[in-house]
Amino acid sequence: MKKLLALILSLTMIVVTVPAVRSEASTIYTIQGSSASDDTLVSNQWGLENDGSFTVETQKSGYPGNPFGRRNGFVFGMFSGGWSGNTLTETLQAVEGIDVNAQEAWDIYAEAEETREVIIALIDTGVDYTHEDLKDSIWTNEDEIPNNGIDDDNNGYIDDYYGWNFYNNSNRVYQGSEDEHGTHGAGTIAASIDNGTGVASVAGNANVKIMILKALGGSEGSGTTEAVVEAIKYAEANGASIVNLSLGSTEDDDELYNAIAGSDMLFVVAAGNGDSRTGIGTNNDSTPTYPASYDLDNIISVANISYDGTLDSSSNYGSNSVDLVAPGTYIMSTTPGNDYGYLTGTSMSAPFVSAAVAMVYSYFTDISLADAQEIVLNSVTKLDSLTGKCVTGGLLNVAAALQYDLSELSGEGWSEAELREIEEAPSFGFGNMPGGDFGSMPGGGDYWGRPGDNSWYSPNPGYGRGGRSGGGYGYYYGPGYGFSFSWGYGF
């Protein structure tokens, strides 16, 4: 049976909003022309350059929207300290050098005589493409005339100028506060560097663009396998090389496996954020999280390292199933409405690696994606604290990757993966809807499906959506679909 699987965001914690600090400067400088960043919040970005002075905010404050955090907004075991009332008792000490070595990487990249443009498909919530730090970082479909109501390029999507919303099946790739998770990841990857305001990113936007593919949304930040798979197909058809997947589930889904296995793109995937009850990281070797745990050559699985050089307590790990770590604790980046804020989770770690691979692939213009993956994984900074926690035992180091000796590449490429056989699900009719199908969610409304169409939600009076949260479950019968569970927040 084909599954309709809920995919839950890999976010564990939402913390502090930071008001935008704006500059009168209007010139946008690209990464090729930049050296040291003059972005106003870069000193808060320990993941780029950590001099040991970083400290977390010491007062609680509500993060706008808070759509995907745990119900209390914080995760047990996240810090070695804790909260006392509204004050954080923090005992972690930042350690100099626990970063991705971004400054040196920018300097090296700026000397490149030739580069190529790389498109990263961000399959996530939507992205605020009007944000002051992102407006020049977004891929656009040049074959489509925006807002004319016509499918100009005949690809089946009307007005898909900025990408597509597979969650709602529309061209609205930004819908407000529910899209802060994707907006945050986009800023880490490709926010403008050296524009005198906000944050810097790993890759900048001179040669790296973000394709917005909204597959997750709502108050729980969830979506369906169908939406993610269709987004993957769209990404490949429209020129993306790398896919960032800061999402996951404990359910192994054949459709999603095949979509990744059959793709020529590289997938950078969040390793996951631990036990749903405690928030403590689990071993993906024994308790897999998907798609991070798929044994496929074209996947990089990423865990979360904190600014003190240890694996964050919420991060999943695995000596065989997780490849490397990247900064993911208290990460400052863009949020909707020209704002900025901190988020924590492996969802924040994956964009660092996506951006790094994109830089490497752009810098070395004759290498393959498999080569770029190999370079990034072989260039990590080894740390004793990561022994047994990931395959490489190391932290992402972008500068080292850009200095890699290409003569050391194996040239092996990716082996061809065998696709899984998928049994087609039967169609179940119900009531007076010819060809229609019915499914229900305990404590929730009704889901109706029509052959050949996406599912859509039709609430009934007196029904809520309790079946989608707090560990409840739902099931859906329809043409080509199957049976699925939908868990609460996190995984």
Q: Is residue 63 part of a domain?
A: no
440 and 381 within one domain: no
pLDDT band at residue 56 under the 50/70/90 scheme: confident
335 and 187 within one domain: yes
432 and 357 within one domain: no
Q: What percent of the chain has pLDDT over 90?
A: 68
392 and 443 within one domain: no
pLDDT (tens digit per residue) in 94-110 = 999 999 999 999 999 99
Asked if residue 403 has pLDDT above 80, the reply is yes
Q: Is residue 27 part of a domain?
A: no
Domains of the chain: total: 2
Q: Which domain holds residue 467?
A: 428-491
Asked if residue 92 has pLDDT above 90, the reply is no
Domain boundary, last residue among 378, 408, 438: 408
In SS3 terms, the chain reads as CCCCCCEEECEEEEEEEECCCCCCCCCCCCHHHCCCCCCCCHHHCCCCCCCCCCCCCCECCCCCCCCCCCCCCCCCCCCCCEEECCEEECCCCCCCCCCCCHHHHHHHHHCCCCCCCEEEEEEECCCCCCCCCCCCCECCCCCCCCCCCCCCCCCCCCCCCCEEECCCCECCCCCCHHHHHHHHHHHHHHCCCCCCCCCCCCCCCCCEEEEEEECCECCCCEECHHHHHHHHHHHHHCCCCEEEECEEECCCCHHHHHHHHCCCCEEEEECCCCCCCCCCCCECCCCCCECCCCCCCCEEEEEEECCCCCECCCCCECCCCCCEEEECCCEEEEECCCEEEEEEEHHHHHHHHHHHHHHHHHHCCCCCHHHHHHHHHHCCEECHHHCCCCCCCEECCHHHHHCCCHHHCCCCCCCCCCCCCCCCCCCCCCCCCCCCEEEECCCCCEEEECCCCCCEEECCCCCCCHHHCCCCCCCCCCCCCCCCCCCCCCC
Q: Is residue 263 part of a domain?
A: yes
435 and 398 within one domain: no
434 and 390 within one domain: no
Asked if residue 458 has pLDDT above 70, the reply is no
Q: Is residue 91 part of a domain?
A: no
What local confidence, expressed as pLDDT, does residue 223 receive? 94
Mean pLDDT of all residues in 389-417? 97
Q: Is residue 243 part of a domain?
A: yes
Mean pLDDT of all residues in 148-166? 97
Q: Is residue 100 part of a domain?
A: yes
Mean pLDDT of all residues in 330-344? 96
214 and 335 within one domain: yes
365 and 486 within one domain: no
Catalytic residues: 124, 181, 347
471 and 350 within one domain: no
> Could you tell me the pTM of the whole model?
0.80
Mean pLDDT of all residues in 185-194? 97
303 and 432 within one domain: no
What local confidence, expressed as pLDDT, does residue 437 receive? 38
Q: What is the CATH number of the domain that holds 222?
A: 3.40.50.200
Q: Is residue 415 part of a domain?
A: no
Q: Is residue 280 part of a domain?
A: yes
